[in-house]
Amino acid sequence: MPTTVAPDLDFIRSLKQLGGENLKSCYQCATCSVVCPISTDDRPFPRPEMIYAQWGMKEKLVSDPLVWVCHNCRDCSSYCPRGAKPGELLAAVRDYTITHFAWPSSFARLFNSARFLPLLFAIPVVLLLAVLAVEGHLHIPEGQIIYSKLFPIHTLEYIYIPVAFFGFIAGLMGMRRYWTAISAQRAGARPRRGLVEAAILTGKEILSHTQFKKCSVEGKRYYGHLPMLYGFLGAFGTTTLVTIYYYSGRFTPLPLYDPTKILGNVSAVLLLYGCGRLVARRFEKEPEERNNLPSSYFDWLFLGLLTAVAVTGTLTELTRLSGAAGIAYPIYFIHLSLIFMLLGYMPYSKFAHLFYRSAAMVHEKMYAPEAVVVALPGPPVAPPVVVEEVEEVEEEKVAAPAGAAAKAPATSPLGGGSKIGGGAPPSMFGGSKIGGGAPPSSPFGGGSKIGGAPPTSPLGGGSKIGGAPPTSPLGGGSKIGGSPPPPAGGSKIGGTPPPAPGGSKIGGTPPPAARPMFGGVPPKPPAPPVAPPAEESKEE
């Protein structure tokens, strides 16, 4: 039965406003699906999402789990030949999704525009001031700086336990709505794993940040998010422990050698470091051929808030130690207000990603089919590439065991899997020089000709040819050939992976065969599939 499609124009307009302004530029070449680390042979991503967005298919997109599995690594955006910025579009969809599923829905509106920012600040400030007024503490307390002189612990508990609880429950409500929506998309499907097993796997993945590590363009985020996450968990743990201490009769401030204090301080450092890196990344200038990481209000509302919490928290401690009460108490007040915002607004800000991402990852682990990695026919060991037909460049007559391919057997978890790196017989490419075939003297394949991205390649279009990806800072500025890959399927061909972030991530990755992404009958892969899980099939 054909699906009836009725585009939602307002949805398209919203996505454009939220940062997906180039979504209509996509012409469905599928290059993005070739480079995306979470795209697989039978689930190309995010090429289809681009046309869903173009066609204003709101329901389809807000209930698409892959949108939240995407780690916004922006590899796709940097390779997209049309500048459609699929990565940015997906971020826009995520922002939209948070608002769409938020509970209660009416609150969500307050978070989409800076117009409401004063109000968001005012809520905790007024509330806390009111509390101080009621309790008669509307002045800087005398004597040694003890923050509970301002807000007694139990007062804070009366405020913050409900706020955190609200944030958490509201977050869960949104998550539930989302879960229901994605489950509806998969109605009738049998889970491959149980919920618990999937949740455990997801937890492991989050704690180890395996997916983060696969990012190229945003490869540095790993070094920010990981310490930040542990810092946050540590800070959360510290608060919990302090509460337990309180009820067992031990009061703050704790001495610096107390284990809880140590945990608190270490967490603060991690949090500060993590936030610092993430913030710094947002100010970084990108090489000319790709756009800078865009930062929306929505991005800053969360990252800024969290950073501010970390900074004020640290200052709270430092000013206390310095004994400057006139500064310490106001900073503490600000810190408390910010924490209120962070926790209370969690379901409506980007912080909600914690819920949606967890849900999406678990759902995927339960239902997503194992990725199929197809070995291309070919000799098990990469044959030397002898580029002989090429007239103009004599020095290319090098029998080069192409770097990438040669490396593949050693590092690829696939062992005997196919090695396309430089191992593809040159005939496949009509004599064009593919990065992998670059002579060893050229470590980055910088000089290799990519122009030949062969539309006739039996590997299908959308090929990411190794050598120097256009976005690579090491790429010698070479550009993948002018020929936009024909929409016939994508393949990922390992070339020489530039040994630095921002380069291609592939090496010996076996290319998927043509993908069934255009609704037509996909060509059958010529060899029986080897089927390791997708996560493991790609090299870091």
Partner 1 sequence: MANDTAAEPKLGTYICTGCGLGEALDIGALEKIAQAAPKSVTCKTHAFFCSDEGVKVIRDDLAGAGVNHVVIAACSGRVNQEVFAFPKEVVLDRVNLREQVAWSHAAKDADTDALAQDYLRMGLVKNSKSSIPASPVTQEVYETLLVIGAGATGMQAAIEAAKAGHKVVLVEKEAELGGYMRTLHRQLPQRQPYTALMEPDLARKQVEVKAQPNITVMTSAEVVKISGQPGLFTALVKSDGRESTLQVGAVVLATGSSPYDATKLGHLGFGASPNVVSSDTFEAMAKSGKLVRPSDGQPARSVAFVLCAGSRDPDHLPYCSSTCCATSLKQAAYVRQANPREGRAYVFYRDMRTPGHLEYFYKAMQQDEGVFLTKGKVTAVKAAGKNQVAVTAEETLLGGPITVEVDLVVLATGMVPSTLAHDILGLQYRQGPALPDLKYGFPDSHFICFPYETRRTGVFAAGTVRAPMTIADATIDGGGAAMKGIQAIAYARTGEAALPRAMDPTYPVFGLDRCTACKRCTEECPFGTLNEDDKGFPQLNINRCRRCGICMGACPERVINFQNYSIDGMSSQIRAIEIPSESSGKLRILAFMCENDAYPAIDMAGVRRLQYDAQVRVVPVRCLGAINQVWIADSLSGGFDGVMLLGCKYGDNYQCHMIRGSELAVERLGKIQETLNRLGLEAERVQYIEFPISDYQRFPEIVKGFVKAIRKIGPNPFKGF
Chosen from ligand HEM, partner 1, ligand SF4, none, partner binding at 304 (C-beta under 5 to 8 Å by type): none
Q: Does 71 bind ligand HEM (CB under 6 A)?
A: yes
Q: Does 145 bind ligand SF4 (CB under 6 A)?
A: no
The burial class, CB within 10 Å (0-12 / 13-18 / 19+), for 81 is buried
End-to-end CA distance of the chain, in Å?
Answer: 41
CB 305 within 8 A of CB 311: no
Site for partner 1 in 196-215 (CB under 8 A): none
Q: 391 CB contacts (<8 Å, ≥6 apart)? A: none
Site for ligand SF4 in 52-111 (CB under 6 A): 70-76, 80, 82, 84, 86-87, 90
Chosen from ligand HEM, partner 1, ligand SF4, none, partner binding at 3 (C-beta under 5 to 8 Å by type): partner 1
Is residue 373 classed as helix, strand or coil in its secondary structure?
strand
In the chain, the amino acid numbered 349 is S
Q: Does 303 bind ligand HEM (CB under 6 A)?
A: yes
Least distance to partner 1 from the beta carbon of 22, Å? 9
Chosen from ligand HEM, ligand SF4, partner 1, none, partner binding at 358 (C-beta under 5 to 8 Å by type): ligand HEM
Closest CA to 12 of 28, 1, 24: 24
Least distance to partner 1 from the beta carbon of 51, Å? 5
CB 449 within 8 A of CB 431: no
Chosen from ligand HEM, ligand SF4, partner 1, none, partner binding at 38 (C-beta under 5 to 8 Å by type): ligand SF4
In the chain, the amino acid numbered 80 is C
Is residue 302 classed as helix, strand or coil in its secondary structure?
helix
Chosen from ligand HEM, ligand SF4, partner 1, none, partner binding at 365 (C-beta under 5 to 8 Å by type): none
Residue closer to ligand SF4 by CB (options 73, 309) is: 73
Which pairs from 316-319 meet CB under 8 Å and 24+ separation? Answer: 316/147, 317/265, 317/268, 319/145
Q: Which of 301, 306, 331, 506 binds ligand HEM (CB under 6 A)?
A: 306
Q: Which of 21, 358, 451, 479 binds ligand HEM (CB under 6 A)?
A: 358
Q: Does 493 bind ligand HEM (CB under 6 A)?
A: no
Chosen from partner 1, ligand HEM, ligand SF4, none, partner binding at 1 (C-beta under 5 to 8 Å by type): partner 1
Q: Does 484 bind partner 1 (CB under 8 A)?
A: no
Least distance to partner 1 from the beta carbon of 54, Å? 7
Is residue 346 classed as helix, strand or coil in its secondary structure?
coil
Site string for ligand SF4, 11-50 (x = CB under 6 A): ---------------xxxxxxx--xxxx-------xx--x
Q: Report residue 276 CA to chain centroid gap.
A: 18
Cα→Cα distances 200→195, 268, 511, 538, Å:
9, 27, 30, 22
Residue 139's φ and ψ, nearest 5 degrees, are: -155, 165
Q: Does 232 bind ligand HEM (CB under 6 A)?
A: yes
Q: 317 CB contacts (<8 Å, ≥6 apart)? A: 265, 268
Q: Does 83 bind partner 1 (CB under 8 A)?
A: no
Q: 258 CB contacts (<8 Å, ≥6 apart)? A: none
Q: What is the rounded distance in angstroms from the CA atom of residue 96 to the CA atom of residue 185?
A: 18
Residue closer to ligand HEM by CB (options 353, 538) is: 353
Cα→Cα distances 221→80, 381, 417, Å:
21, 36, 31
Q: Which of 34, 41, 52, 447 binds partner 1 (CB under 8 A)?
A: 52
Least distance to ligand HEM from the beta carbon of 206, Å? 4
Beta partners for 530? Answer: 373
Residue 353's φ and ψ, nearest 5 degrees, are: -55, -30
The binding site for ligand HEM (CB under 6 A) comprises 71-72, 91, 206, 225, 228-229, 232, 278, 281-282, 299, 302-303, 306, 353-354, 357-358
The binding site for ligand SF4 (CB under 6 A) comprises 26-32, 35-38, 46-47, 50, 70-76, 80, 82, 84, 86-87, 90
